[in-house]
Structure 1
Amino acid sequence: MPTKTLSELSKSMQKIDIAMLSTYSGGGEIAGRPMSNNGEVEYDGTSYYFTYDQSRTVSDIQGHSKVALAFQGEKSFQVAVEGEASLIRDTAAMKDHWTPDLDRWFKDGLDTEGLVMIQVDATRIHYWDGEDNGEVKR
């Protein structure tokens, strides 16, 4: 099975802005929602997303931290990530991952009340690129 390096995979992911983040809901169902990558183009196995503290996404992660990410690129390029999510409420930690594009969803920027950053650390990364596919090791 061909294997890309994480660096090669990162280059292929640079144009993908939206990921589908899936969580386990309180009833055991899987819930998915699109999330912006916030300009994080140098993928190193960790992803960051912003949301509100009162969102279902946050309550799902508090109940079960194992999540999945799905990325769809050009042509037949796709990436599936299994990972562990953590919730970060420290504004200083969020600053490195904030981009001005996020201001359209969070009107007070990093000072938005109830702002939470979701950090997803990959435990497994699988990709498909045409007929080439494989698992990337961190």
Structure 2
Amino acid sequence: MSKRALAEIAKDMAGIDIAILSTHTESGEIANRPMSNNGDVTYDGTSYYFSYEQARAVSDIQRNPKVALGFSSEAGLLSKGTYVAVEGEAQLIRDKDAFKRHWTSDLDKWFDNGVDTAGIVLIKVTAKRVTYWKGSEVGEVEI
């Protein structure tokens, strides 16, 4: 297993917008759902996702903040894809100033009143461990 710096992995992840967010349900099962980075795809070990307060992901995180993220880039028969698995801890942010720092106009189609939309929350995921696969290279990043 090789070791790479997070900055190197971030270069491979550049442009990956969709992540699969995994949480623990009330019954202990694992729930998965796609989440958009909202165009904020420069990875530094922290990811941000907007959601509605009533979403199951939010109630799952309130009970158990340990989450996982999965990222994957396009891989064809002749190209090497990049696959990244993140184990981390989620935090729910309800601060409008934080919303503004992470808001992009693409979010307007999901949240009618922008950062003033009632019931929105920002999910912040801080990585504790990052594992990656790129072609035959497999490794882990120390956080």
**Which category describes the TM-score, using the shorter chain as reference length?**
over 0.9
Off by >6 Å, runs of 4+ in structure 1: none
Percent identity over paired residues: 59
Deviation at 1:35, TM superposition (A): 0.1
* One-letter amino acid matched to 1:128: W
* One-letter amino acid matched to 1:86: Q
Please list the CA deviations of residues 28-82 of structure 1 after superposition, one character each: whole Å capped at 9, or x if unmatched.
1000000001112221100000000011110000010000000011223100000
Please list the CA deviations of residues 55-113 of structure 1 after superposition, one character each: whole Å capped at 9, or x if unmatched.
11100000100000000112231000000000000010121111111111111110100
Please state whether the residue corresponding to 2:86 is helix, strand or coil: strand
* One-letter amino acid matched to 2:98: A
Q: Distance in 2 between matches of 1:2 and 1:63?
A: 34
| Partner residue of 1:128 out of 125, 133, 143 | 133
Map of 1:94-133 to 2, 5 A cutoff? Answer: 94-133=99-138
RMSD between superposed Cα atoms in Å: 0.9
Count of residues paired in the alignment: 138
List gaps (5 residues or longer) in structure 1. none
Q: Distance in 2 between matches of 1:90 and 1:32?
A: 25
**Alignment-derived partner of residue 2 in structure 1:** 2
Q: Distance in 2 between matches of 1:21 and 1:94?
A: 19
**Alignment-derived partner of residue 18 in structure 2:** 18
Deviation at 1:11, TM superposition (A): 1.1
List gaps (5 residues or longer) in structure 2. 76-80
| Partner residue of 1:90 out of 91, 95, 114 | 95
Q: Distance in 1 between matches of 2:52 and 2:18?
A: 18
